[in-house]
Structure formats: C-alpha cells, structure tokens
C-alpha cells in the first residue's frame, strides 16, 4: 500500500516534460511500475506523458492498464461537482 | 468492418452533450457497443462523454476497454507531429 503510493505521478498543469522526468526516474530506480493519474483537463496531458515515456525514453515499458472513472468533489462554493479521472499504469 | 465504423463516435470540440446524445442513440438502436474516440485536447472530453453516458443515461453500460496510443499526423506546414489518442469502448 505504502509502496503503491510512492509510484504515483499526479499530472497537473505543469509542462508534460516535468511529469515525464518524474515517471522515468521512478521506472529507473527499482520500481518497475508507475501509475500516472490526472483529473479533468489534465487527462489529455496524462496520456501525452505516458506516450512520451513509453515511446521515447523507456521503450520496454508497456501500458498495462488504463482506468477511467468519476470523482465527486466539493468546490469552493460548497457544491458537489463530478470530475472525470484517468489512471494509466505503465510497467516494464 | 462496416458495422464497426457505424458504432464510432469521434469526439471533437463541440459541447460534450452532443457526443453523449450520439452515443446513447447508438446504444439504444441495436448496437450494444460503441467506441468513443478522440485526439489531443479532446481526450479529456471523451472521458467525460463516456462517464456521463455510463453514469447518467445507460447505467447498464460498462467500460469494456480503454486504449491509448500515438498517431503521427502531418500538419499544415508539412511537418510530422505526434498526437495522443484515446479509444473508449462502452458495452451494455
């Protein structure tokens, strides 16, 4: 459980290469698996990150699984909003 | 092959509900499977569409598979660019 947490990259609004570097570092430091996670508009960027890692840098890595689901969040006004999420599992 | 083509929804820049409606129509007209496809920034919207269909409208539909991959396109200047793609397979 604790180990699983360490191998997660949360993709936000920074340039894709920041997350690519984080994922490569994970995959090259003993972890043979990394989960790339994102919500909302960052989902497209998460797919970019996974594809760049797999095609350009860690070419023996495969996309093991892709999960999509919805999370219910509470926004600043106290309203509940549904946000789409993605989890991409890369393994070498 | 021909049948497969009919059951594809290409998600672009229109409001998500346009694609949601198209997917529901497919699933309610004999097709028990629909592929929701998108490229680039529309990927986030494709995930929204699949989740809205599955959670709000066709609640017996399940996400059967999610594929991510890269396509090499040629842009207006004649340069090759890599674009991330997603295909979400919904089945009831």
Q: Which helix (H) or strand (E) holds B15?
A: none
Asked if CATH classification 3.30.110.20 holds for the domain at B2-91, the reply, yes or no, is yes
- Statement: residue A5 has pLDDT above 60: no
Question: pTM value?
Answer: 0.90
CB B68, CB A50: distance < 8 Å: yes
- pLDDT digits over B66-85, tens only? 999 999 999 899 999 999 99
* Per-domain boundaries in chain B: 2-91
Q: Which helix (H) or strand (E) holds A13?
A: none
**Which has the higher per-residue pLDDT, A4 or B92?**
B92
Could you tell me where the DSSP H helices lie in chain B?
Answer: 2-6, 16-27, 42-52
Does residue A63 sit at the B interface (CB-CB below 8 Å)?
yes
B residues 6-45 near A, CB within 8 Å? 40-44
Mutation site for A-interface testing, chosen from B17, B46, B68, B82 by largest number of A Cβ within 10 Å:
B68
CA distance A31 to chain B (A): 22
User: CA geometry: angle at A27 spanning A26 and A30, to 5°?
Assistant: 85
CA–CA distances in Å: residue A74 to residues A21, B48, B52: 31, 18, 18
Q: Nearest by CB to B43, which of A43, A55, A69?
A: A43
Task: Identify the DSSP state of B56.
Answer: I
Q: Across residues A2-29, what is the average pLDDT?
A: 87
């Amino acid at each position: 459980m604790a180990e699983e947490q360490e191998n997660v990259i949360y993709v936000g609004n920074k340039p894709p290469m920041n997350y690519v570097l984080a994922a490569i570092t994970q995959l090259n430091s003993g972890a043979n698996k990394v989960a790339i996670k994102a919500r909302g508009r960052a989902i497209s960027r998460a797919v970019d990150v996974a594809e760049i890692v797999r095609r350009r840098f860690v070419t023996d890595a495969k996309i093991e699984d892709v999960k999509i689901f919805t999370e219910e969040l509470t926004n600043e006004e106290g309203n509940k909003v549904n946000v789409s999420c993605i989890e991409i599992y890369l393994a070498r």
